[in-house]
Structure 1
Amino acid sequence: MSMTPAPSSGERPHDLAGDTMTLAYEHVRDAILRGELRPGTWISQVRLAADLRVSRTPLREALRRLQTEGLVQLDFNRRIRVAPLSIPDLEALYAMRLAVEPLAVLLSVPQLTAEDVSELEAALTAMETAASDGDEERATDHHCRFHFLLLSRTEDRLRTHAESMWDHSVRYLRIYHHEPDYRLALISMGRTGHQEILGAAQARDGRQASRLVAEHLARTALTVLASVAGAHDPKTIREALRFVLDSAG
């Protein structure tokens, strides 16, 4: 397990009840999302606390938060298990994104400022440039920024929930598809859809942007599911998309 420890000066950093919990949460969450802590791995809380150089109390709080997100599972012996991956869970995750993200876009896009739209345009240009250069990491960062900007003017709880599910989807992609070329191809595949979404955002048309985002998400979900489980029937994705599009008229 490769974890970056907290400062080792012998003194705990400035406030440490809340700060240590947040640092522990962010360290472990990042390690899980990046695949450094593999799905299904069991970890001792004692070992993890030692690796992170934190006490057990803030670590327990961090783990409860991660458990709520569905990233870890805790047993009665206080062991931690990194949540395993599965095709039904991946499909449910995309279905939940289909229910939440288009709603957040619907509410956010009409409130975008001129500066927000300029940032959207810049993110899309940077994403396309990075994809053309074969730079998967930069393309992914700008892709994330583009979609998060679309959500930026909605209520905090809805926005953070949508962003969290995005992170979980990226975790699946990193683990199921180690090759950066596949993830780059997914981004490039959505080029036309991204341009259409940008056009709707420029017009502050929340309903059209919402519909386009739903279709974009569904295409991505079906492509990813087909690549890892070709025989799987993605009924939940179809029903989620139908529900969203029927609601959008």
Structure 2
Amino acid sequence: MSTIDALELLPPPVFTDPRRVSVDLHLHLRRLVFENHLPPGTVLKQAQLARIFGVSRTPMREAFRMLQEEGLIDTAVDQRARVRALDGDELDQLYSVRITLEALGARLTAGRLASSERTRALAALDTMERAQLDEDLEGWMSAHRRFHRVCVARADEPIVRVIDSYAQRSERYLRLYQLWHPQSFAIAHREHADILDAIVEGNVAKSGTRIADHLAHTSITVLADVAGGNDGRAIRHALAMVRDPRRGSI
């Protein structure tokens, strides 16, 4: 079957609000990439997809822009785009930034969580556990985002904005980790609980190292799957910076 024929058979998006067509298109295309309905290398044409999904080119152009910002597609001047290949160097850089900034966010948050925030984090952990049992990956991912956001609750702009951006861009690799390593859910649950414990007890150094170790574990595992020859140089440098015992206190 040709690429064009395959695109014609894509499931249609669900539009929730006429004012959010571009947002719904973006989320739908994003999901199709994550679930490999649009595998790496697939050529996407704005006009064709707009016709298939019954929308104008304007919201489709905006959806393409958001996908490009997330690093999911590369666009050309002729309004075509291509789904980006999995890239070991990209993974290494994405997670090295996340390790550095989320460790900083966790250190800033340690001992300073409000009781309501701790309750939200525990609720997110419970939701993730139930979603995993129900095989509800979207529910798990949503709760996972909420949990990580609480862990850096005392970090302000622009740190949080950068963390959120890099977390979104690395989500593709996180989903592969879960797909290729089914035991990852149980491992992640233990690591998440340990991170929250360290933050709640106010242990600054432990909060940073635990979230850094958690992110490094995920990224180095996927890196070995995606690009076995890549040693994760940036990830390992970021991890070494966080683990330096001389940085344990101010």
TM-score, L = length of structure 2: 0.77
Contact persistence 1:71–1:83 (CA under 8 A): yes
Aligned identity (percent) is 33
What is the DSSP-based 3-state SS (H/G/I as helix, E as strand, rest coil) of the residue aligned with 1:147?
A: helix
* Corresponding position of 1:149: 150
- Secondary structure of the corresponding residue to residue 223 of structure 1: helix
Q: Distance in 1 between matches of 2:65 and 2:247?
A: 36
Task: Output the CA distance in 2 between the equivalents of 1:99 and 1:62.
Answer: 30
Instruction: Determine whether 1:100 maps to 2:101.
Output: yes
Q: For structure 1, which runs of at least 5 residues remain unmatched after alignment?
A: 8-12
Deviates more, 1:44-53 or 1:189-198: 189-198
CA distance in 2: counterparts of 1:177 and 1:129, whole angstroms: 16
- Secondary structure of residue in 2 paired with 1:24: helix
Give the match for residue 69 of structure 2: 68
Deviation at residue 239 of structure 1 after TM alignment: 0.9
Letter paired with 2:106: V
Describe the superposition over 1:28-57 as per-residue Cα deviations: whole angstroms up to 9, x where unpaired.
Answer: 233223333222210111011123322222
Contact residue 5 and residue 51 of structure 1 kept, 8 A: no
1:240 match: 238
Which deviates more from structure 2 when the two are superposed, residues 161-170 or residues 91-100?
A: 161-170
**CA distance 1:68–1:143, change in 2 (3 Å):** closer
Cα distance change, pair 152–36 in 1 and its aligned pair in 2 (3 A): farther
What does residue 123 of structure 1 align with?
124
Which one is further off, 79-88 or 197-206? 197-206
Cα deviation, residue 219, structure 1: 2.0
Q: Determine the structure 2 residue equivalent to 1:39.
A: 40
Deviates more, 1:195-204 or 1:143-152: 143-152
Larger CA deviation: 209-218 vs 151-160: 151-160
Deviation at 1:104, TM superposition (A): 2.8
User: Larger deviation: 54-63 or 101-110?
Assistant: 101-110
Shift of 1:214: 0.8
* Larger mean Cα displacement after TM superposition, 44-53 or 55-64: 55-64
CA contact (8 A) 1:196 1:212 kept: yes
